[in-house]
């Protein structure tokens, strides 16, 4: 087998693909979510706006599932209609019902 073919096959191995995806993902996350000040946890960070106390909480109580997506347009419409704020505590890919 020619050496160039072996090198080409080697670059297709999954760990190379995962390394590229991971590096790109970390770059995107870093650009979208700047780091908090040193020594500050997310729960200690100052909120951007005082939303007031929660008046209702909805929890999932079925068998464990993973969140595949949120219908953001519908959530936005419902929040506007109710003059409310919706706080989502689990992200896409998070497990629900554990």
Give pLDDT tens digits for 48-94.
677 778 888 888 787 877 788 889 999 999 999 998 888 887 777 77
The mean pLDDT value for 29-55 works out to 70
Contact 75, 86 (CB under 8 A): yes
- What pLDDT score was predicted for residue 62? 79
Burial class from Cβ neighbours inside 10 Å (0-12, 13-18, 19+) for residue 29 reads exposed
CA distance 62 to 60: 6
Give pLDDT tens digits for 4-23.
666 666 666 777 778 888 88
CA distance 9 to 72: 41
**65: phi then psi, degrees, rounded to nearest 5:** -140, 170
Q: pTM for this one?
A: 0.43
């Amino acid at each position: 087998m020619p050496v160039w073919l072996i090198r080409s096959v080697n670059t297709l191995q999954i760990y190379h693909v995962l390394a590229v995806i991971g590096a790109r993902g970390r770059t995107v996350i870093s650009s979208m979510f700047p780091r908090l000040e040193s020594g500050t946890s997310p729960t200690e960070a100052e909120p951007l706006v005082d939303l007031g106390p929660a008046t209702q909480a909805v929890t999932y109580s079925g068998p464990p599932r993973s969140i595949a997506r949120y219908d953001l347009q519908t959530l936005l419409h419902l929040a506007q209609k109710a003059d409310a704020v919706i706080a989502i505590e689990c992200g896409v890919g998070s497990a629900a019902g554990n």
